[in-house]
Structure 1
Amino acid sequence: MIVEQLYTNCLSEAAYFIADDGEAAVVDPLRDIEAYVDLAAKHNAKIKYIFETHFHADFVSGHLDLARATGATIVYGPQTNAAFKFHLATDGEIFSVGNLRLKALHTPGHTLESTCYLLFDEEGREHCVFTGDTLFVGDVGRPDLFSGNLSKEQLASMLYDSLNNKIRTLPDHVIVYPAHGPGSACGKNLGKETFSTIATQKATNYALKEQSREDFVTEVTSGLNTPPAYFPINAQLNAQGYESLDKVRAGALQALSVEAFEEKAKAGAWILDSRPSSLFTEGFVPESISIGLDGRFAEWAGSLLPFDKELVLVTEAGKEEETVIRLARVGLDKIAGYLDGGFDAWQQAGKTIDLIIDVEPEELAMDIPFDNKLQVIDVRKPSEFESGHVKGAENIPLSELGNPLHMAQIDDDANLYVHCAGGYRSVIACSLMKREGFHNLRNVLGGFGKMKEVKGMPVVKPSAAGA
C-alpha cells in the first residue's frame, strides 16, 4: 500500500496518490498533472480513479486533464452537478484500488457536494480519511463559499451533522489527510501540520469538541474574512470545465521581442513581473505588477490580476514555464507570451524603466517626527494590524488595494512609506500604486517584523492596537 501526500506550499494545497497491486488513485489533483503520471509509472500502476472531495474554489483542479491523459474515472460525491462526464458516488459507496477499499462519506457543510473518502488497508482496517475541506488540522472548511442560496448558518448546521455523524465516529487511530494546510483561505486558522489523527483532532480541534449545534454554528460562522476575489471563478471552472493545460502552455510560452511585448501592453495587456521583489524594485517595465514566484504567487495573482485581460510576462531566465503553470493553477489562462531576454532586454533596448525606492526602517523612524507630509501605508491583514502597528499608519490590506475606494484613502501629495510583515506584499502594493499613478513611494525593507525592533519607531502595542 502506498499513500503519498503531494503538498504545494504557495497554495497550501495537498493532493494524494494511492497505489496498490498495479492500480492507483489520485485525490484532489492540481492542474499540472505530471507528478501523478510519473508516480504511477514509478510504481507500475494504472490510475483508475480521480477522487474529488468537492468543487475547489482556491485552485483549478487537474481532474479533466488527468482523466484525458489516463482514462481514469472522475468521482464526485452526492449532490454534484457538473458539465462533464463523472461518476456520481452514493453515500457509503465502496471503490477498489488493488487490494484497498475507499468508502465515500458524504459530508456537506463546506459545500453541498463535499465528500470525504475513508481508506481501508489490505486487511480491511480503517487507515486514513481524505477529508478535503470538511476537516483541517485545527479547523474546518468555511461554510460561506458558493453553495447556491443556502446561508452560511444553514451550511454550518449541515457541517455539524457531518462532523458528528461521519468524522468523530471514526476510530481514533485513523490518519486525517486534509486538502489544505496553514495559510489557506478556505478556513479561519489552520494548524501548522498538514496531517493528523482523529484522536488528536477530537482533543484539539474546536470544531470537534462536544458542543451544541447553536454554539457550533456561531463559532464556525464568526470571524470569517472576505474570501479572495478569484474563488467563485475557480469554483465555476472546476464545475464547468476549462482549457487543457497543454493548450494554455502552447499559447503562453511565446517569446516576444521588445517591440512585440510593447505592442501587447499598449493594446491593453497587463504586465506581470514574477522576479523576486529585490530585483523588481531596482528596475522594471513601467506599469508592471510585481508578484514574485518566491511567495504566495498564485494566490496573489488570482486575487489581484484581471481574468478578462491578457497578461504578458517578465520573468527570470528559465522561469517562464513555472510562471505559466502557477498562473494556470488559479485559472489565469489568458497569457499572450513573455518578454524574450527578460528585463535586461528591455533595458538594453533603451526603453524607459521605473523603480521603487527601498528604505531601511531606521530611515522611517528618523523621518516620522519631522515630516508632516509622511503617510505610512500598512498592507497587512486587519488581524495583523491589530496585533501591533506604527502609530498613525493607514491599514489598507493588499487584498483591498485594487479597490478604487481604498486607493482614494491615499494622499497623492504625501510621502508614502509602504510596508507589510516581511517585505513581499509591500512590493506588490507599491507596484499596484505605481500603476495607478502614485510615484512618491518608499518600500520599507523587512516590514513590520523589522520595524518594531527599531529604536524610536512609534509602535502601538497589541494591548492598545485594537482601540
Structure 2
Amino acid sequence: MKIEQIYTGCLAQGAYYIVSEGEAAIVDPLREIQPYLDRLAKDNVTLKYIFETHFHADFVSGHIDLSKATGAKIIYGPTAKAGFDCVVANDGEDFSLGKIHVKVLHTPGHTLESSTFLLKDEQGKPHCIFSGDTLFLGDVGRPDLAQKAASMTQEELAGLLYDSLMNKIMPLPDDIIVYPAHGAGSACGKNMMKETVDTLGNQKKVNYALNQPDKDSFIKAVTDGLQPPPGYFGMNVAMNKQGYDSFESVLHKGSTPLTVDAFEAAAESTGALILDTRDPGVFYKGFIPQSINIGLGGDFAPWVGAMIVDVKQPILLVCDGETYTDAITRLSRVGFDNVLGYIEGGFESWLNAGKPVDTIERIDAAEFAGMLNVNSDTIFDIRREGEYTAEHIENAYNKPLLYINEWIKDINPAEHFFVHCAGGYRSMIAASILQARGYRNFTEIAGGYKAIAETNIPRTNFVCPSKTLKL
C-alpha cells in the first residue's frame, strides 16, 4: 500500500494518490489531469476510483476529465446529485482497492453530501481518513457555504457537522492519520494549522472545534467570525456538479499569442479584463492602462477568484516569457476558463509599440517613515483583520483587500492616502484596482508591514472600532 499527498500551495489543497496491488485511487484531484496520467503510467497501475469528498467550492476538480481518460468510477457520498455519471455511495459502503478497503462515512455539515473516506489496510485495520472539508487540522469546514442549496441556516448545518464529527470521526482510533482537503490559507476554514498531516489523537487534543463542551458551544464557536465567502465559490460548485470544458481545450484556447494591435482590439471589442501576472516590483514601473496586477508569485488563483469573481469574465494576459501556460492552468483550477490569449512579447512589445503606459506611485518603508505624520495622514492597511489587530501603524484604517468593492466607494478621491499590506503583493493588487477605477491620489508602500516594522513608525495593537471595516 502506498499513499501520497499531492499538495498545491497556491490553493492550499491536498489531493491524494493511493495504490495497492496494481490498482489506484485518487481523492479530490486537481483540474489538470496529465500529471496523474503520467504517474499512473509510470507506476504501471490502473485507476479504479476517483473519490470526491464533496462538491468543492474553492477549486474545480479534475474528476470528470480523469474519469473519461481512464474509465475510473467517480465516487460521491450519499445525497450527491451530479450532472454526469457517478456512483452515489451509501453510508458505510465499502470499496476494495487491491488488498485494502475504503469505507464511506457520510459526514454532512460543510455540505449535505460531504463524506469522509476511511482507509483500512491489508489487515483490515483503520489506517487513515481522507476528511475533505469535514475535518481540517486545527479546524473544521465552514458550515455556511451550502445554506441556500440546503435550505438551512449556517447554525443548522453546524449542528449537522457536530453530529457527524461526534458520531463518525471521534470514535475512530487515535492513531489514525488525518489527510484533510485543505491547509492554512484556504478560505474553506478560519483556523487551520500550517501542517498538512496529523493523527486524529492529536487533533482531539488541539482542535478547538473538537473540544467544545456541547453542541450549542460548537455551533457558536464554528460560526463565530466567519467572513463572507469569495464570490466565485458558488460558480465553482456549479461546475463541479454539472461539468465543464476539458482542461486541454481551455489551455489551447488561452494559449493564443496576440500582436499588440490584436490585443488592444480584443480588449476594446470584448470588454476583457487585462490581467498582468508579473511581479509587483516590476508591474508598478510600467503597465498597460486599466490592467489588474495579480502576480503569479503569490496566491494567484484564490486572489483572481476573490477579485474578479465572475468565472465567465473574458481575460487577456500579460505575462513574462512562457509563463502564460502556468497562468492559464492556475486560472482553470478556479474555473476561469475564458482566457482569450496573451500579448506576444509581453509588456515590452506594448512599450516598444509606443502605446500608452501607466505607473503606480510606490515608495519604500524608509521613505514612508521620513514623510509620514501618523496624526494627520490617512493610511489603509489592507491586511486581514487578524493581521491588523495583532499589530498595525497607529491610526491606520483596516480595509481588507477582500472587501475592496465595499470600501472603495467611500474613498474621497481628493484626499491622499497610503496603502500597504504585509509584503507588497496584496497592496499592488489593490493599487492596480484603485487606479483602474480612477483613484490616483495614493502611494503604495513596497515591502509592506514587514518592512514598516523595521522603521521607527509608531505601531500599536490597540483597535479603534471606527478604524475597522464592518460588513
Instruction: Report the TM-score when normalising by structure 1.
Output: 0.96
Q: Secondary structure at the match of 2:150?
A: coil
Which residue in 1 is equivalent to 2:182? Answer: 180
Unaligned runs of 5+ in 1: none
AA at the equivalent of 1:202: K
The 1-side partners of 2:210 and 2:40 are apart by 35
AA at the equivalent of 1:318: E
Which residue in 2 is equivalent to 1:60? Answer: 60
Which residue in 2 is equivalent to 1:422? Answer: 423
Residue 365 (1) aligns with residue 357 (2)? no
Instruction: Please say which of residues 390-399 and 222-231 is displaced more in the overlay.
Output: 390-399
- Please tell me whether the aligned partners of residues 389 and 465 of structure 1 are also in contact (alpha carbons under 8 angstroms): no
Unaligned runs of 5+ in 2: 467-471
Which one of 307, 313, 318 corresponds to residue 311 of structure 2?
A: 307
1:69 Cα deviation after fit: 1.0
Residue 219 (1) aligns with residue 218 (2)? no
Which residue in 2 is equivalent to 1:131? Answer: 131
Residue 345 (1) aligns with residue 346 (2)? no
After superposition, the C-alpha distances for 1:306-347 in whole angstroms (9 at most, x for unaligned) are: 433210000010101100010000000111000000001111
Which residue in 1 is equivalent to 2:282? Answer: 279
1:414 Cα deviation after fit: 2.4
The 1-side partners of 2:69 and 2:443 are apart by 49
1:393 Cα deviation after fit: 2.3
Which residue in 1 is equivalent to 2:72? Answer: 72
The 2-side partners of 1:295 and 1:83 are apart by 34
1:371–1:354: structure 2 CA closer, same or farther, 3 Å change rule?
farther
After superposition, the C-alpha distances for 1:172-195 in whole angstroms (9 at most, x for unaligned) are: 111000000111110111011001
The 1-side partners of 2:260 and 2:305 are apart by 26
After superposition, the C-alpha distances for 1:331-386 in whole angstroms (9 at most, x for unaligned) are: 001110000000011111111111112211222222223996x4322111122222
The 2-side partners of 1:309 and 1:210 are apart by 43
Residue 258 (1) aligns with residue 253 (2)? no
Q: Secondary structure at the match of 1:376?
A: strand
Q: Secondary structure at the match of 1:84?
A: coil
AA at the equivalent of 1:440: N
The 1-side partners of 2:462 and 2:375 are apart by 27
The 2-side partners of 1:82 and 1:116 are apart by 18
Which one of 216, 235, 238 corresponds to residue 236 of structure 1?
A: 238
Matches within 5 A, 1:90-169: 90-146=90-146, 147-169=149-171
Which one of 331, 334, 342 corresponds to residue 330 of structure 1?
A: 334
Question: Quick one: percent identity of the two aligned structures?
Answer: 48
1:463 Cα deviation after fit: 4.2
The 2-side partners of 1:466 and 1:392 are apart by 11
Q: Secondary structure at the match of 1:10?
A: coil
The 2-side partners of 1:61 and 1:169 are apart by 30
After superposition, the C-alpha distances for 1:231-289 in whole angstroms (9 at most, x for unaligned) are: 11111111111111111111111000000000111121110011111111111111110
Which residue in 2 is equivalent to 1:442? Answer: 443
- Please tell me whether the aligned partners of residues 385 and 465 of structure 1 are also in contact (alpha carbons under 8 angstroms): no
Which residue in 2 is equivalent to 1:452? Answer: 453
The 1-side partners of 2:193 and 2:374 are apart by 43
1:458 Cα deviation after fit: 3.0
Q: Which runs of 4+ in 1 moved over 4 A?
A: 463-467
1:465 Cα deviation after fit: 5.6
- Please tell me whether the aligned partners of residues 388 and 465 of structure 1 are also in contact (alpha carbons under 8 angstroms): no
Which residue in 2 is equivalent to 1:89? Answer: 89
- Please tell me whether the aligned partners of residues 107 and 164 of structure 2 are also in contact (alpha carbons under 8 angstroms): yes
Which residue in 2 is equivalent to 1:396? Answer: 399
Q: Secondary structure at the match of 2:10?
A: helix
After superposition, the C-alpha distances for 1:199-256 in whole angstroms (9 at most, x for unaligned) are: 1111111122262111111111111111111111111111111111111111111000
1:43 Cα deviation after fit: 1.3
Instruction: Please say which of residues 275-284 and 358-367 is displaced more in the overlay.
Output: 358-367
1:95–1:309: structure 2 CA closer, same or farther, 3 Å change rule?
same
The 2-side partners of 1:231 and 1:369 are apart by 41
Q: Secondary structure at the match of 2:366?
A: helix
Q: CA RMSD in A?
A: 1.5
AA at the equivalent of 2:285: E
1:432 Cα deviation after fit: 0.3
- Please tell me whether the aligned partners of residues 387 and 466 of structure 1 are also in contact (alpha carbons under 8 angstroms): no
The 1-side partners of 2:273 and 2:2 are apart by 44
The 1-side partners of 2:441 and 2:329 are apart by 34
AA at the equivalent of 2:397: E
Q: Secondary structure at the match of 1:408?
A: helix
- Please tell me whether the aligned partners of residues 129 and 176 of structure 1 are also in contact (alpha carbons under 8 angstroms): yes
Which residue in 1 is equivalent to 2:322? Answer: 318
